[in-house]
Amino acid sequence: MTRPLKYKHSNILFGTVLLITFLLNGCSAPTPVAKLPVKIQSNEADEITVAQTAEDKLALAETLNDLTLTPLVTAEINLLLVESSELFLQQQDFLKALWLANNVTNLVKQNHSYTYRLLLVKAKSLHALNYHQSAYKQLQFARELVIYVNAKSSATPLELSREYYLYLQEILTVKQQPVKALTAGLIAFSLNDDSTAQDVFSLWHTLESLNQWQLAQLIKADPPFIQGWQQLLSYSHKFGANTEQFTRYLRLWEQHYPTHPATLIVEQLLTSTLSVSKIENIAVLLPLSGSQQGAGLAAQQGILSAYKNDTANKIHFIDTNTVDWTILATQFSESNIDHVIGPLLKSNVETYLKLSKEQITLKIPTILLNLPSTKNLASYQTVLSMRPEDEAIQAAATLSQKHYNNPIILSHQDRISKRLAIAFSQQWQTLTGNKVDIVYFNQGKQMQVSLKAALDVNSSQMRIKQLQSRLKNNIKAESRNRRDIDMIYLIGSASQTRLSKPYIDVNISPFASIIPIFASSRSHSNFDYNNNNGSTNDLQGLTFTQIPWLLASKQQNKNLAQLSYQLWPKRTDSLSRIFAMGYDSYNLLDKASLMQQAPYIRHFGQTGILKLNDSNILTRSLIWGRYQNDKVIQIAMD
């Protein structure tokens, strides 16, 4: 038996025909009637009882086919065929279930209820056979059928069943669309009158794993019970690390949502306890000399800003540019080091991880400030990651919900920009199924050439010239850009963006709609905004992601930001990011272990809203900003 290959008029073609003992010959497709009782009476058969296996039902249908094919008998045959395909599915004989469902569809096409059931059989069978996109299409057909039937007649309504949403959840999970999958799961849960405690806890474990921007998308989808879940998650994120506060807010939640399914979760949270290891001596591994001294000093200053001369703890700064790694364990032992921040540089992270596997003194809670090549971290090791891919994934997921159909990525040729472009493109394709063109550009004239080509302005100008050459008199004509582009994601430094955005603006035809431009955090320079009054002139309307520290926002530590600017007014954006990372790393020393024990805990830091994933990597949710009326403001996008 070969697997199904492709669709043709929504049926699957097979290379070879499934050998099955039953085949209806000469059976027309009269209009089926409602489902009959389990037993039927006939002149030619005293009594026939519906069987419990697919094969028995097919045999029974074959027996009925030998009778006089009255509408009543034909209807029962159709029902038996539908139930047989469903039983083959239950028996995990997916090829037979799919084959039978495809062949029975035409026989029962006048019965919308049967057609709906067969679409679910096809979807589940195709999913089990790893044809996930084809399975998803069958569910789309089922949804369209329900809409069509209910719009045509309200007398016999058809509803999307719990099975539909369970299948949809499975398929969307495989398609790496967790928010949509969870939305389907919450709807399926609401349709289950026999839900168990395990069902509730399963939902909670999925909900607590969401990033902040994913949660915002889920809330927007408005699935059943979402208000109670949202409030519980909000309390858990903000107060989960503080037992006293958390208990108070959980009691408040119980008062507002006494009948919500999550009361089971709250009961468990109220009785759970979290343990924290005592912090007394902290080793901080940074490059405090050499070529990377500036980065090391920025991180050090961020750590000291969070430290605030806390007499309960003592910080031991170690210069990774001069340290003797072979005696690091001895230094830790002599200083009674119990927690570590760093190293900052990737090469030093690799060295430290190798030593930590060999030296028991180094097997202590550690906040690494760079991602190692291998993600196999020990349970006591956590990475505060500033990966650029995180914000590209967030941006693609958010913008894909805004009904843009034909985006294009304009990216500078440098290494980090390329990483951002690829991550955005891959995430967009995962979520929408559509590819996104990436156009790379360099500085200077080459940038203009690349941007013109991307917007297809060159072709328009060539057509104008050809027309002018054929006419005696000159004509006045406007160049026109491509009309299929409805959104641009721009990736480049602040200076590159200031050059490229105006060029994009002037090459948009006056006859075309304005194309919205979104950008990464690299396009916004807080340094320029604070030190150059004219830096916003060419960036009006640009929307971008950013860490809270570099954007006046609710989450920004404004007092510290003001003090930092007074002390270091000429600090670059890259060093400001490292300062914010240092600040967050100190505040995460005791929180990282709590986040391991309780995945619902978040850290609302200056580098973003941080969540610990299953690989012990702290991932970030960023905020959105926009250049508007010569100012930079925070906006809500998710």
| Tens-place pLDDT, residues 385-421 | 888 899 999 999 999 998 898 899 988 888 999 999 9
Q: What is the pLDDT of residues 445-495, one digit of tens each?
A: 566 666 666 665 444 344 434 433 444 444 343 344 445 688 899 998 888
Q: Is the pLDDT of residue 235 over 80?
A: yes
pTM of the model: 0.83
Contact 529, 539 (CB under 8 A): no
With 80 as the cut, is the pLDDT of residue 134 above it? yes
Tokens of 191: 């349709």
Q: Say whether the peptide bond before residue 599 is cis (omega within 30 degrees of 0).
A: no
Predicted pLDDT of residue 449: 66
Is beta strand 517-519 parallel, antiparallel or unpaired with respect to 543-546?
parallel
What confidence score (pLDDT) does residue 23 get? Answer: 40
Over residues 254-280, the mean pLDDT reads: 94
Q: Supply the DSSP symbol for 617.
A: E
pLDDT of residue 191: 96
Task: Give the mean pLDDT of 73-86.
Answer: 90
- Give DSSP secondary structure letters for 38-106: SEE--SS-S-EE--SSHHHHHHHHHHHHTS---HHHHHHHHHHHHHHHHHHHHTT-HHHHHHHHHHHHT
Q: Place 131 in a pLDDT band, splitting at 50, 70 and 90.
A: very high
Give the H/E segment covering residue 635.
strand 631-635
What span, in angstroms and rounded, lies between the C-alpha atoms of 194 and 200?
A: 11
Higher pLDDT, 348 or 26: 348
Q: Do β-strands 543-546 and 603-604 pair in parallel, antiparallel, or remain unpaired?
A: unpaired
Average pLDDT, the chain: 85
Q: Answer yes or no: is pLDDT of 66 > 80.
A: no
> 491 pairs with which residues across the strands?
411
List b or e across 302-315, with b for residues whose CB sees 16 or more CB atoms inside 10 angstroms. Answer: bbbbbbeeeeebeb
* C-alpha–C-alpha distance, residues 484 and 616, integer Å: 42
Mean pLDDT of 4-18: 32
State the average pLDDT over residues 291-318: 94
What does the alpha-carbon distance between residue 215 and residue 228 come to, in Å, rounded to a whole number? 13
CA distance 88 to 506: 62
Least confident of 226-235, 337-346, 536-545, 577-586: 536-545
pLDDT score at 304: 96
pLDDT tens digits, residue range 600-622?
999 999 999 999 999 999 999 99
pLDDT for res 483: 54
- Mean pLDDT, to the nearest integer, of 497-524? 77
HSE at residue 508, side-chain half, CA atoms within 13 A, is: 16
Return the C-alpha torsion angle 415, 419, 424, 427, nearest 10. 160
Contact 574, 554 (CB under 8 A): no
Nearest Cα neighbor of 188 from 172, 208, 212, 211 is 172
Do the bridges between strand 623-628 and strand 631-635 make them parallel or antiparallel, or are there none, so unpaired? antiparallel
Residues 618 and 385 sit within 8 Å (Cβ to Cβ): yes
Query: Is a pLDDT exceeding 90 seen at residue 511?
Result: no
Percent over 70 (pLDDT), the chain: 84
Whole-angstrom distance, CA of residue 584 vs CA of residue 608: 9
pLDDT band at 27 (very low <50, low <70, confident <90, very high): very low
Mean pLDDT confidence for 376-391: 91
Residue at 90: amino acid letter: Q
Q: Is the peptide bond before 510 cis (omega within 30 degrees of 0)?
A: no
Residues in Cβ contact with 325 at an 8 Å cutoff, skipping those fewer than 6 apart: 351, 352, 355
- Is residue 19 pLDDT above 60, yes or no? no
Task: Look at residues 385, 441, 428, 418 and name the one whose alpha carbon lies nearest to residue 620.
Answer: 385
